[in-house]
Amino acid sequence: MRSKLKIILLVLLFALGVATTGDAAAGQPIAFTEGNFFVGPQPFPMYVEYFIPIKPTHETPIVLIHGCCTTGSGFVSTPDGREGWAKYFVRHGWKTYVVDQPGHGRSPMAEQYPTMSLQRAVDDNVALLKKIGRAIFIVHSIGGMIGWKLCDTVPDQVAAVIGVAPVPPANIPKGSFPAATAIGQSFVTSGSGPYLPEDKPAWYKLEVAKEAFASATLFPSDAMDQYYATLVPESPRAVNELMNKDGMGLTADPKNIANIPKLIITGDEDPRHPRAVDAATAKFLGAEHIFLPDVGLPGHGHPMYLDRGNEKIAEVILDWLHKKRL
């Protein structure tokens, strides 16, 4: 009889749009709702997917912002089918939101996309905060430039920001982020000069993706084809902002964001984010810095949220948030 009641309960949960997943700590399933909505104005509204525990154990939500040429899907599951960070966080009681940056994935790509600024993503995330309230942001790669500017724009609405191999703000001392030039040459439409032409969307080169993303020991290399299939074209304007062409990159004043808890995480097998580079970004922003081998986690590269053992990095993040009393 009890088994029948459990089956009926699960059927009712799914019928009501409620999913369940296992809780690694307690060994019991945890129920959560999932859904989606859009925020921000035309022509670049932003798709937001959410995972909300039926009984959250933390009041402040987590927002995950992906990097260049990717979508939020990698935070939900990995190319080889493992659980992504979003599911890990909701499983530990956190209200979790995953965005597709404007023009990426399930966010519509407008005709003006080749000249779309990263500021659009900042604006849409400000709109998201108006809807969900003060939040923690986890930002990856080019999402770092978005995250730092978001802190600078609405510092009272950002509870904390965790930069995962993040791009620094454009006003960091010149020469502090040498990978910018290599990133600019990573696209099929890269011209002879240092900057991208802004006449059409820019596609990432397969060979560069393998070298920059799949070189780490713990990256699921057997799923590289599946991973490359998930990549989407990037706005050339966004990449030019990353390289601070004509001073157009997004800036952040460290004084304005001094009271926001900040953390930068670096893997030891990320060719574009060596320890010293991310340490310099952390120093400039007044952020703490974790080099993963120092906490017993070697072998991680740039998209570390996809690596085997990604849940151990998520655990490091949650431990840090706990220490910040969030």
Please state the pTM of the whole predicted model.
Answer: 0.91
- On the question of pLDDT at 24 being above 80, the answer is no
Query: If you average pLDDT over every residue of the chain, what do you get?
Result: 91
Domain span holding position 184: 32-323
Query: How confident is the model over 46-75, as a mean pLDDT?
Result: 96
Query: How confident is the model over 36-64, as a mean pLDDT?
Result: 97
**42-45: which pairs have CB atoms within 8 A and are 24 or more residues apart?**
42/110, 43/108, 43/110, 43/111, 43/112, 44/102, 44/103, 44/107, 44/108, 44/110, 44/116, 44/120, 44/124, 45/102, 45/107, 45/108, 45/124
Residue 18's pLDDT band (cuts 50, 70, 90):
low
Into how many domains does the chain fold?
Answer: 1
- On the question of pLDDT at 6 being above 60, the answer is no
Q: How many CA atoms lie within 13 A of 294 on its CB side?
A: 7
Does the residue 21 lie in any domain?
A: no
Question: Residue 94 sits in a domain of what CATH number?
Answer: 3.40.50.1820
Query: How confident is the model over 40-61, as a mean pLDDT?
Result: 96
- What digits encode the pLDDT tens for the residues 218-277? 999 999 999 999 999 999 999 999 999 999 999 999 999 999 999 999 999 999 999 999
Residue 212's pLDDT band (cuts 50, 70, 90):
confident
Does the residue 154 lie in any domain?
A: yes
- On the question of pLDDT at 11 being above 50, the answer is no
- What digits encode the pLDDT tens for the residues 108-152? 999 999 999 999 999 999 999 999 999 999 999 999 999 999 999
Does the residue 26 lie in any domain?
A: no
Does the residue 19 lie in any domain?
A: no
Does the residue 25 lie in any domain?
A: no
Does the residue 17 lie in any domain?
A: no
Distance between CA atoms of 219 and 54, rounded to whole angstroms? 33
Residue 185's pLDDT band (cuts 50, 70, 90):
confident
Higher-pLDDT residue of 302, 182: 302
Residue 14's pLDDT band (cuts 50, 70, 90):
very low
Backbone phi, psi, residue 162, to 5°: -115, 115
- pLDDT, residue 22, reads 52
Distance between CA atoms of 180 and 281, rounded to whole angstroms? 14
Does the residue 86 lie in any domain?
A: yes
Distance between CA atoms of 141 and 246, rounded to whole angstroms? 21
